[in-house]
Structure 1
C-alpha cells in the first residue's frame, strides 16, 4: 500500500499527502524525523522511546493544539499512554493504533467482514447488551446466511452479551448468533433461531439502496448511503454518479438522502456528492463548500508553499458531469450520522433549502490525518490520527458540538426497523409527507421512541473521519 497521510474530519473522511520535508525555519513546520534511539534501555524501552519520539514530532508539528504538546520522558513510557497524555480536553477524536495496514483496509471499503452493520443497545436496569442489525450488504456472508435489517442478536456462541464481553464476542471472525424477538410488553427475549456467520473479504458499495418513488405526482429519488468512500479505482464514486444520473433520467425533482448510519468518509467524495446535488450556478461559480483552519505553524506552512487558495485550506464545488440542480434536499439523520455526512449537510446549507429529518447528528467538525511512519523502510506499523484542523461552511458555521439539529425530530427505533424504502418508516414517511405538501396528522402516531440506551461502536468511531484524495494535494518540497 502506498505510504501517505490520510486526512479525516473527525467524522469526515479525506486522504491527503503529508506535507514532507519543509525548510528549517522557525515559522515553518519541521519535517517528521526521529533520531536513532540509544542509551541503556531494554529492547522494549528502546522501541517505546522511538515510538514516543515519533509521536512527539508528529503532534508538536501537526496537532491542532500543538502548543500544549510536551516532550516524552526517558522511562520507556507505553506509546498509547504517552499519546493520550497529550490530548486536549476538547479532543474526543484523536486515535492511535499499532496496525496501520489493517486500519487502511477498514477505510478502503474492501476488508474482512461478515457484512452487517451492528448497533449496540443496553437493556434498561441491567448490564445485558443486544445487537440490532442496521443493514446488511448484498451477497455478504450475513446476507447469504439470512440475516436481515432489524434482526436482534442476544447471544454469540451461546454466551449472553453484556457490557464486559459484547465487542470482543462480536469482533471474532466466526461465530453463531442467537436471535431474539422484541415485544413492547415483554421486552427482548431469545428465540430458538440461530445463524452461523463467517467473515470474508467483501466489497462494501456505499450506495446500499436506491429507488425512485412518487409522492403527490412528484418523482422522488431515495438513496441509502452508508459511507463516503470512492473505492480503490473510484468504482464506488462512479456508482454514486450513475445513481444520480438515474435519478436525473427519471425526472426526479425531489431527493431524499438517508445518512442515518453513515459515520463519514472522504472529503473528495463529499465534495463530489455536494457538487452533484447543488444548484448548477453554485457549482459553475465554484463557490466555497468548506474552509479549513489549522494550528498557526501548519497553516503558515501551507500558505507559504501552496498559497492562500490551497485546496488544503478550502474545498469548493467542482463540476463533475453529474448535477441534479436541486433547490431543496432532504436528509434523514441518526445519532451516528457524522463527519463527512455533517460536512455535506452543513456545506450545502448556505446554497439551498436543506431539510433534516430524524435525530441530532454526532457533532464532529474537527479533522484528522492518519499518519504512519514515513521512514523508508518503515520502523514500525503504528499510525496516529491526531486532530489537525477544524472546518466551517461558507457562512462560518462550526462548533456544533451537540450535533446538527433536525428540522423535524423523529427517533430511529431499530427495534421496530422497517426495510429500506418502506413508506411506514417514520423518517421516510415524514419526508414524503413534506414533499406531498405538508405534514399529515399521522406524524404523531408514527413517532418512535427508543426503549434502550445506545452503546458506542468502536469501528464506526474510527471511521468518524474525513479523507481527501491525495492526488489533489501537491507535495511541498
Structure 2
C-alpha cells in the first residue's frame, strides 16, 4: 500500500488508486468519535459536508488541540457565493484558532490577507490532475517587474499552447485583450488587488482565450491569440551547463513543479545524466516559482543532489498529530482506497515518527555528483516540497540560497475526500536529520541557517542567462568565492523599480491561484496491516 502526502503551495492530489467518496459524517457515522459533539441528523447535503470538514479536522488537523467544540464552532453557519466558497470560508475560520508562540498569531496566519488560511484549502479535483502532470491552461504565467506597466512572461511550460506560439520568459507583454499603457499599470494595495490587477487575473485565470502583444529583447513585437489546452507537464523548464571559469562548470536546472515522481523522473534523470557527463563542479537549482507537490519527488531530487556519503542516513522525519500517531484518528476509516484487489483505509497506516523516518538512498538514482556547492534560487513563490528539499540537504552539504524569503510551509497533507470535494489540511510537519523545521516565516537568505544572498527576482531575462541577477550571483560565487557583482551590472539592476517582495508574492498567488502554493504530499509504504 502506498499513501501520497503532499508538500506544495504549491505543495497536492488524489493519488492512491481510485477516488472513493466520503461517507457523510453524522452522529452514527463519524468514525466512532465526534468528541462529544452532536450535529443534528436533519440537514442538507452541504450541511453534512460542513460537518465532515470540521469533524475530520478535530482528529487529523495538525493543530487539532486548538479547535473548539462542534457547538461552539457551528460549522453549518458558514456561507459563501457558492458551495465551495462556503466550505473554504469554514476552513479559513477553522485555521485561526492555533497560536504560534514565536509570533503570537495563528500558524496559518496569512500576512497579505489576515483571516484567510495560509495552507488549508478545499478543491474540486483539479489539483489532483495537475500534480499528476496534466494541465489545461495557457502554459505560461505573467508577472509585473516594476510599479509601472512592465509585465513580463514569468515562465513557459514546454509543449504548452504558449510554447507553441513562441512565448519565452522575459518577453514583455505590452497589450492584453487590447488593453495597453496605464490600463496595465500595477495598482495592487496591501492585498494585491486593484482594477488592473483584477483585469489581469480575469483575462489570465478566468478565460479560455487571451490576446497578447509581446516585445522580444531585440525590440521586435508580435501578436498572439492563445487558447487553453491540455498538455503533459515537463517540470524541468530549462537545464544547461555554464562554464564559470577557473575550471568550474555549473549545472543549472529550473524545476518548476514537484509533479508525481512518475512524471518528473525522466526529465530529472535526463538533466542530471547530462550534468554528470559534463563534469559539473557546482549546481544551481532554480525553484523560484515552484510551489511544491509530491514528497516522493522531493525525496528523489534530494537523492540526486546529495553526496554519496549520505546513503542510508536520515533524510527527514514526518511528525503527525498525536491523535494519528496514537492510532486514535478513527474517522480515517471512512477514507477508503484500493491497491489492486485490496481495500484499505487511511486509518490503516503507521503515523509514528519511527514509521515515518525517510532515509537517503543513493542507489535509487542514476548518478552521483561530486559538488562543491548547491545553490537554490528562491522567492516568495518557493514553497513546501521545494523548502523540504532545501531543508533535507542543509545538514549534509554546502547549501546557499539566492533570492528572497520563501513562502514558509514546513507542513503537509494527504487529500481527504468529502463528497465531490478534496480537503487539504496540514496533518504533519517535517524535520531534517538535524531536527530542524518550523520555518513558518519562510527561509530568508543570509539569515540564521540560510547562507547565501538576499536579492530580488529579475524576470527581464530568460532562465539560464548568465546576466540574470540571481543566476549571476551564483556564477560569481563559484568563480570568485563571493556574491559581489560588477558595479556596472548592479547599476543596471537598480534601474528596474521592482515590486516589493510582499507585492510580488501576493500578485503571483492571486494570478496563479493560492492552492498551488500550499501543498506537500506524503508517501509511505508502511501500513499497520
TM bracket, shorter-chain basis: 0.7 to 0.9
Give yes or no for contact 1:263–1:461 (8 Å, CA) kept in 2. no
1:153 aligns with 2:180: no
Sort the Cα spacing of 1:222 and 1:97 in 2 relative to 1 into closer, same or farther, 3 A: same
Give yes or no for contact 1:365–1:390 (8 Å, CA) kept in 2. yes
Give yes or no for contact 1:11–1:367 (8 Å, CA) kept in 2. no
Sort the Cα spacing of 1:222 and 1:32 in 2 relative to 1 into closer, same or farther, 3 A: farther
Sort the Cα spacing of 1:151 and 1:10 in 2 relative to 1 into closer, same or farther, 3 A: closer
1:337 to 379, 382, 385: 382
Give yes or no for contact 2:10–2:383 (8 Å, CA) kept in 1. yes
1:370 aligns with 2:415: yes
1:105 aligns with 2:129: yes
1:48 to 32, 38, 46: 46
Match of 1:63 in 2: 61
1:245 aligns with 2:273: yes
Match of 1:461 in 2: 514
How far apart are 1:295 and its partner, in Å?
Answer: 2.0
Match of 1:418 in 2: 461
Match of 2:444 in 1: 405
C-alpha distance in 2 between matches for 1:87 and 1:332? 30
Match of 1:318 in 2: 361
1:299 aligns with 2:325: yes
1:386 aligns with 2:425: yes
3-state SS, counterpart of residue 177 of structure 1: strand
C-alpha distance in 1 between matches for 2:275 and 2:489? 28
C-alpha distance in 2 between matches for 1:384 and 1:304? 19
C-alpha distance in 1 between matches for 2:439 and 2:413? 17
1:167 to 186, 198, 201: 201
- Between the two proteins, the alignment pairs up a number of residues equal to 437
How far apart are 1:63 and its partner, in Å?
Answer: 0.5
How far apart are 1:351 and its partner, in Å?
Answer: 0.6
C-alpha distance in 2 between matches for 1:289 and 1:84? 32
State the Cα deviation string for residues 351-371 of structure 1 (Å, max 9, x = none).
111112222222221213322
C-alpha distance in 2 between matches for 1:253 and 1:52? 54
1:211 aligns with 2:240: yes
Sort the Cα spacing of 1:469 and 1:292 in 2 relative to 1 into closer, same or farther, 3 A: closer
Give yes or no for contact 1:259–1:337 (8 Å, CA) kept in 2. yes
How far apart are 1:37 and its partner, in Å?
Answer: 7.4
Sort the Cα spacing of 1:9 and 1:227 in 2 relative to 1 into closer, same or farther, 3 A: closer
Sort the Cα spacing of 1:157 and 1:395 in 2 relative to 1 into closer, same or farther, 3 A: same
Give yes or no for contact 2:384–2:409 (8 Å, CA) kept in 1. yes
Match of 1:117 in 2: 141
C-alpha distance in 2 between matches for 1:14 and 1:141? 24
C-alpha distance in 2 between matches for 1:53 and 1:257? 43
- Residue segments in structure 1 that go unaligned for 5+ positions in a row: 22-28, 183-190, 374-379
Match of 1:186 in 2: none
Match of 1:377 in 2: none
Moved more, 434-443 or 330-339: 434-443
- Residue segments in structure 2 that go unaligned for 5+ positions in a row: 23-29, 80-86, 97-105, 109-116, 185-195, 329-346, 446-451
Normalising by structure 1, we get a TM-score of: 0.80
State the Cα deviation string for residues 49-98 of structure 1 (Å, max 9, x = none).
11112112211111112121432638564333333221133214333335
How far apart are 1:310 and its partner, in Å?
Answer: 4.7
C-alpha distance in 1 between matches for 2:135 and 2:147? 31
C-alpha distance in 1 between matches for 2:151 and 2:32? 45
Moved more, 430-439 or 89-98: 89-98
C-alpha distance in 1 between matches for 2:484 and 2:95? 49
